[in-house]
Amino acid sequence: MTKLLVIDDEQSILETLRMFFEEKGLKVLTAETGARGMEQFTKENPQVVILDIRLPDINGLDILQTMIHTGRPVKIIMITAFQDMETTIVAMKTGAFDYIHKPLDIDQVEQAVDRAARIIEIDRKTPSLTSCNDPFAPVKIIGKSEKMRHVFKMMGLVCDRHVNVLLQGATGTGKELTARVIHMNSFCKNEPFIVFDCSSVVDTIIESELFGHEKGAFTSADQTARGKIELAGNGTLFLDEISQLPLKIQGKLLGFLQRKEYTRVGGTRVLKSNCRIVAASNQDLSELVDKGLFKQDLYYRLKVFTIHLPPLEERLSDIPFLVAHFLNKINRELGTTVTKIQDGVMERLRQHTWKGNVRELENTIVQALVGCRGNVLLKDDIDRILNQYRSEPVQGLESFTLAHVEKNHITRTLSQLGWNKSRAARLLQITLPTLRSKIKRYNIRPM
3-state helix, strand, coil in the chain (%, to 5): 50, 15, 35
Q: Is residue 139 part of a domain?
A: no
For residue 316, count other CB atoms closer than 10 A to its CB: 15
Q: Is residue 179 part of a domain?
A: yes
Residues 341 and 425 in one domain: yes
CATH code of the domain containing 400: 1.10.8.60
Which of 283, 308, 333 lies at the terminal end of a domain, its last residue? 308
Which of 261, 287, 308 lies at the terminal end of a domain, its last residue? 308
Residues 15 and 83 in one domain: yes
Q: Is residue 140 part of a domain?
A: no
Distance of CA 315 to the CA centre of its chain: 20
Residues 157 and 297 in one domain: yes
Residues 337 and 261 in one domain: no
CATH code of the domain containing 98: 3.40.50.2300
Residues 267 and 409 in one domain: no
Closest CA to 13 of 63, 72, 73, 54: 54
Which of 308, 338, 366 lies at the terminal end of a domain, its last residue? 308
Q: Is residue 395 part of a domain?
A: yes
**Which pLDDT belongs to residue 374?**
83
Residues 158 and 278 in one domain: yes
Residues 185 and 302 in one domain: yes
Residues 201 and 344 in one domain: no
Q: Is residue 141 part of a domain?
A: no
Residues 152 and 290 in one domain: yes
Q: Is residue 80 part of a domain?
A: yes
Residues 120 and 162 in one domain: no
Domain with 57, as residue range(s), is 3-125
**Which pLDDT belongs to residue 132?**
52
Q: What pTM did the predictor assign? A: 0.76
Residues 329 and 296 in one domain: no
**Which pLDDT belongs to residue 138?**
59
Dihedral Cα 11, 17, 18, 24, nearest 10 deg: 170
Residues 39 and 79 in one domain: yes
What stretches in the chain show pLDDT beneath 70?
Answer: 130-138, 389-405, 447
CATH code of the domain containing 198: 3.40.50.300
Q: Is residue 371 part of a domain?
A: yes
Split into its structural domains, the chain has a count of 3
The answer to whether 421 touches 411, Cβ cutoff 8 Å, is no
402-416 helix and 421-428 helix, angle to the nearest 10 degrees: 130
The answer to whether 409 touches 398, Cβ cutoff 8 Å, is no
Q: Is residue 137 part of a domain?
A: no
- Asked whether the CA dihedral 367, 369, 374, 375 is positive or negative, the reply is positive
